[in-house]
Amino acid sequence: MLALRIDKEERGGFFPPNTGYFPDLLKQDGSYRQMRIHEKGSVSGAAHGTTILAFHFRDGVLVAGDRRATASNRIMSNRVDKVLEIDDSALLAISGSPAMALEMARVLDHSLKFYRRSQLTEISLEGKVRILAQLLKENLPMAVEGIGAVVPLFVARDPASGAVRIYFYDILGAHFEGVEFSVGGSGSPEVQGILRYLDRWNPRPLREMSREEAIVLSLRLLETASYFDSATGGVDSQDPIWPVIKLLTPGTLETVDERTMAEIYRNEVMRVR
Amino acid sequence: MFDEPYRWIDAIHQRRDYITEQLDRATPVVGISVSEGILLASFHRQNPKIYELYDRIAMGGIGHPADLETVRGILLNMAHVEGFQRSSTDVSIERLALFGLAPRLKAAFEDVSAPPIILDVLLSEVGKTFRDDRFIQVSFDGNLQRATDMMVLASTEEMEEKMTGLLRERIPAGEKTLGKVLPVVSRVFMDILFSPEELGMDESGNLLSPEKFSECESRLFEDRQWEGVLLDRNAPARIKKVAYSGDKST
């Protein structure tokens, strides 16, 4: 009977008020525990391998990711969504362990909504960035065991200025702003090199690219990554399996539809010489 | 003192009277299903009464603001933990009311040694279609009432019946748009918060003095604020504010 009462702590008089931090609530409830593997070495079958990228273009930020999930040399799935909408102003692109990354995305999604609904105000951009950093820090035991590392990109609109910003993280939760672009995953070295080259020596920097040019570039980058990295799924227009490409601007969040990608791919990527 | 059944029953009666008396002055909260979703509307003096709880779900409450905040916290926690553990589609007002709120309120009401919880709650859940919308009212003693197309949460049964009657009389049955319903709701609030004489109306309800009506509306907005939200059927993760539809809406 005692459990059914509105207890003193629920009345809020004698305990600190609700902070709006959702992971604390999950921990109290016992539904969010960090796993720890004590045996050394990695676990066979853990899924890894990805290419995710984000760069500024004229209207905002383009975020793209391939669809492949691998475990060792096995392809587990070619239809994983690695660019996730956290809300209408934030995107999370995930690389690393899908199990942990998708769980983090789910916690983050609920955290932002829980904060808004419990505190009756929007959380700041810095607050969003910090929640993800905290989740990564809490995931450190899994990361150092070699089976649960997550290295995400977080792209969000600043509610104060309307500007869209790119953040990248390390496995400890340290976060930095990717001023022009950021990349992640096993296929990222090639993509990073190309983006750096284009931004530095192309006649026009990345920020001056049009929407169409940005989409073309992202498809070409993902195909290049898949050419060198077996863990990155390329564009399979026969099956068809298309990457996920999302555009976050100061006023909109758009997912590029498959028909547009198919047309661009046919005309601009799959050139017949 | 409470070891004798009679004394406990007597204490419960007194508690009910006390809570009812405390709720007496509350302005009602109205929930109406429309094509676009669910409209929740009320007026408040100091503290808001209508809150978003979860995807598709919102609540309205009358009573003590501190108790409303306590109950809001309990429901928010329950909805978010359940939605995280399972799926957002598994969170329903039926579960929140039946397993989360009603037992707690009943236990709190019957524990006469503790201060009473002074509030009544209206939970609303928007569905895929007009016919799937749900309302549940949870009273301070843990009792539940359910409705589908509209529900009025008022401090007294008389007020609830009067307001429900006026709304049913003026709003056609079946599916209707927000644009049609909003002016009716705004007008019904005027009719229940002021007497016909104050509004400048005759016994048949004909408006004889628009000046008096306008004066009442000005008085209403002097000490109260309009609170209208839409639980949008097509974008149910975030409630939308709805402006008052009367002379003061411009």
ipTM: 0.90
Q: Which stretches of A8-158 are DSSP H helices?
A: 8-11, 22-29, 98-119, 125-138, 140-144
Give the integer Cα–Cα distance in Å for B126 and B135. 9
Backbone phi, then psi, for B89, in 5-degree steps?
Answer: -75, -15
pLDDT at position A259 is 93
Task: Look at chain A and report how many structural domains it folds into.
Answer: 1
Residues 6 or more apart in contact with residue A66 via CB below 8 angstroms: A50, A51, A52, A82, A187, A222, A225, A226, A232, A233, A234, A243
For chains A and B, CB pairs below 8 A equal: 62
CA B99 – CA B82 distance, rounded (Å): 12
A113 touches chain B (CB under 8 A): yes
Chain A residues touching B85 at Cβ < 8 A: 31
C-alpha A174/C-alpha B106 separation (Å) is: 48
Domain containing A80: what range? Answer: 51-266
Please check whether residue A132 lies inside any domain of the structure: yes
Interface residue B208 vs chain A (CB under 8 A): no
Q: Which of A214, A123, A133 is nearest to A171 (CA)?
A: A133
The reply to whether residue A117 touches residue B237, judged by beta carbons under 8 angstroms, is: no
Give the distance from residue B207's alpha carbon to the nearest chain A alpha carbon, in angstroms.
Answer: 40
The closest alpha carbon to A211, from A108, A32, A26, A58, belongs to: A58
Q: Does B108 touch chain A (CB under 8 A)?
A: yes
**Does residue B83 belong to the interface with chain A, where contact is any CB pair within 8 Å?**
yes
Q: Tens digit of pLDDT per residue, chain B (250 long)?
A: 556 778 888 999 999 999 999 999 899 999 999 999 999 999 999 999 999 999 999 999 999 999 999 999 999 999 999 999 999 999 999 999 999 999 999 999 999 889 999 999 999 999 999 999 999 999 999 999 999 999 999 999 999 999 999 999 999 888 899 999 999 999 999 999 999 999 998 888 788 899 999 999 999 898 899 999 999 999 999 999 999 876 554 3
Q: Is residue A21 part of a domain?
A: no
| CATH superfamily name and code, B5-249 | Aminohydrolase, N-terminal nucleophile (Ntn) domain (3.60.20.10)
B81 touching chain A per CB within 8 A:
yes
Residue A19 among the catalytic residues = no
Enter the tokens of residue A32.
């969010």
Provide the sign of the torsion angle of the four alpha carbons B123, B126, B127, B130, taken in this order: positive
A6 inside domain = no
What is the structure's pLDDT at A11? Answer: 52
- What pLDDT, on the 0 to 100 scale, is given for residue B202? 86
What are φ and ψ of residue A44, in 5° steps? -70, 135
Q: Quickly count: other Cβ atoms within 10 Å of residue A255's Cβ.
A: 11
CA–chain centroid gap for B9, Å, is 29
Task: Specify the pLDDT at position B247.
Answer: 52
Contact B84 A117 (CB under 8 A): no
Q: How far apart are CA B136 and CA A167, in angstroms?
A: 43
Q: Which residues from chain A sit within 8 angstroms of residue B52, using beta carbons?
A: 117
B74 to chain A, any CB pair closer than 8 A? The answer is yes
Cβ contact A221:A268 at 8 Å = no
CA distance A72 to A85: 28
Read off the CATH number of the domain in which A169 is found. Answer: 3.60.20.10
Location of structure tokens 């995280």: B84
Which chain B residues are Cβ-neighbours of A120 within 8 angstroms? 51
Residue A157: count other Cβ atoms within 10 Å of its Cβ.
24
Closest residue to A5, CB basis, from B53, B80, B111: B111
What DSSP line would sit under B36-99, residue for residue?
TEEEEEEEESSS--EEEEETTEEEEEEE-HHHHHHHHHHHHHHHHHHHHHS-GGG--HHHIIII
Which DSSP symbol is given to A180?
S
Chain B residue whose CA is closest to A19: B73
Judged by a CB distance cut-off of 8 A, whether residue A25 touches chain B is yes
> What is the chain B residue with the closest CA to A107?
B84
Contacts of A25 in chain B (CB under 8 A): 77, 80-81
- What local confidence, expressed as pLDDT, does residue B169 receive? 94
List CB contacts (< 8 A) between B81 and chain A.
25-26, 29, 31
Contact A12 B73 (CB under 8 A): yes
Cβ-defined contact of A10 to B74 (cutoff 8 Å): yes
A12 interface with B at CB cutoff 8 Å: yes
Task: Give, for all 273 residues of chain A, the pLDDT tens digit.
Answer: 333 456 555 554 444 456 788 888 887 777 666 555 555 554 444 445 789 999 999 999 999 998 888 877 788 888 889 999 999 999 999 998 888 899 999 999 999 999 999 999 999 999 999 999 999 999 988 888 877 889 999 999 998 899 999 999 999 999 999 889 999 998 899 999 999 999 999 999 999 999 999 999 999 999 999 888 877 777 766 778 899 999 999 999 999 999 999 899 888 888 655
d(CA B139, CA B155): 10
Of A171, A169, A217, A165, nearest to A195 by C-alpha is A217
pLDDT tens-digit profile of B188-239? Answer: 999 999 999 999 988 887 888 999 999 999 998 988 999 999 999 999 999 9
**Cα B128 from chain centre:** 22
- Answer whether residue A228 is part of any domain: yes
Active-site choice (A19, A50, A121, A249): A50
Among the listed residues B159, B165, B166, B208, the one whose alpha carbon sits nearest the alpha carbon of residue B186? B166
Chain B residue numbers with beta carbons less than 8 Å from the beta carbon of A26 are 81, 84
On whether the CB atoms of residues A138 and A150 are closer than 8 A, the answer is: no
